[in-house]
């Protein structure tokens, strides 16, 4: 009897077992990585999705055996580092996600690997700092400080120093900080009547995100103008904080 492919049906997502001490067992993780990488090796559908899969396939193709058993396990981390947990491979590509018996959830496996790396203290200070988008924004997206930081980020001597100390490449373009945050200057308009559409509610609460709030407030202001033009009432989400997505990439 043939086995039906998993994503001919809605994928099933098992909860992340992060409170279980076994979740952080590195040996068990490496065994599971080897199992999953071997399946991916025979499939390769996700080659074009992100850099994690080309990194994985290059490791296997360049190994002595041309198979996953030819890849040293400490090289697995190069694949993990390339995953930014967008979930596209699980949601759109993989035919082996649950309920398929192969039970393959590539993003959740990458997340487990990242959690183990974090617990072992192997995440550098640089990464933790860059992932603290809310804290950095609160500190730097204010008048005078923002202009100073923006100028400094384009100064080659300072960038060489940053490269040496924090290993942020001197050519890496860094986003400018806005001297005035979106949330401090957003002109929401709550006075319009709520008119629900057929498929969408007729009012909007804006979660600005760190990037719009601290770096590109103009995009948020444009959105508010469009919504006001269409007489859609808007408010800002109260007590907004970082969604935590950057920290999932650590």
Residues that bind ligand SF4 (CB under 6 A): 39-40, 43-46, 49-50, 52-53, 83-89, 93-94, 96, 104, 106-107, 110
Min CB(52)–ligand SF4 separation in Å: 4
How distant, in Å, are the alpha carbons of 5, 128, 155, 156, 160 from that of 152?
A: 53, 21, 5, 8, 11
Nearer to ligand SF4, 117 or 138 (CB): 117
CA distance 214 to 180: 8
Min CB(41)–ligand SF4 separation in Å: 8
Nearer to ligand SF4, 2 or 191 (CB): 2
Token pair of 56 as six digits:
């994985």
Min CB(37)–ligand SF4 separation in Å: 8
The residue assigned the tokens 């999932």 is: 248
235 Cα distance to chain centroid: 26
Nearer to ligand SF4, 79 or 141 (CB): 79
Nearer to ligand SF4, 56 or 142 (CB): 56
Nearer to ligand SF4, 217 or 246 (CB): 246
CA-based torsion, 78, 79, 80, 86: positive or negative: positive
Min CB(141)–ligand SF4 separation in Å: 28
Nearest residue to 51 via CA among 78, 30, 33? 78
Min CB(54)–ligand SF4 separation in Å: 10
Vertex 186 angle, CA 232 and 221, to 5°: 70
CA distance 141 to 163: 22
């Amino acid at each position: 009897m043939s086995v039906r492919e998993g994503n001919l049906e809605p994928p099933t997502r098992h909860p992340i077992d992060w409170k279980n001490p076994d979740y952080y067992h590195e040996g068990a993780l490496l065994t599971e990585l080897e199992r999953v990488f071997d399946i991916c090796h025979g499939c390769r559908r996700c080659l074009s999705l992100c850099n994690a899969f080309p990194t994985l396939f290059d490791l296997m193709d360049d190994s002595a055996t041309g198979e996953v058993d030819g890849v040293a396990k400490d090289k697995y981390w190069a694949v993990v580092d390339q995953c930014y947990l967008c979930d596209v491979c699980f949601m759109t590509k993989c035919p082996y996600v649950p309920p398929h018996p192969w039970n393959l959830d590539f993003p959740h496996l990458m997340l487990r690997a990242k959690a183990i790396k974090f617990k072992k203290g192997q995440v550098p200070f640089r990464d933790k700092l860059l992932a603290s988008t809310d804290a950095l924004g609160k500190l730097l997206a204010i008048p005078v400080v923002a202009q100073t930081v923006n100028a400094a980020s384009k100064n080659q001597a300072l960038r060489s120093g940053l490269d040496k100390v924090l290993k942020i490449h001197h050519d890496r373009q860094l986003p400018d900080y806005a001297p005035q945050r979106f949330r401090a200057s957003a002109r929401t308009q709550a006075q319009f009547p709520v008119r629900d559409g057929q498929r969408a509610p007729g009012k909007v609460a804006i979660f600005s995100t760190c990037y719009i709030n601290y770096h590109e407030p103009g995009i948020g202001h444009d959105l508010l103008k469009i919504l006001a033009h269409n007489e859609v009432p808007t408010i800002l989400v109260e007590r907004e904080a970082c969604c935590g997505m950057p920290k999932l990439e650590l």
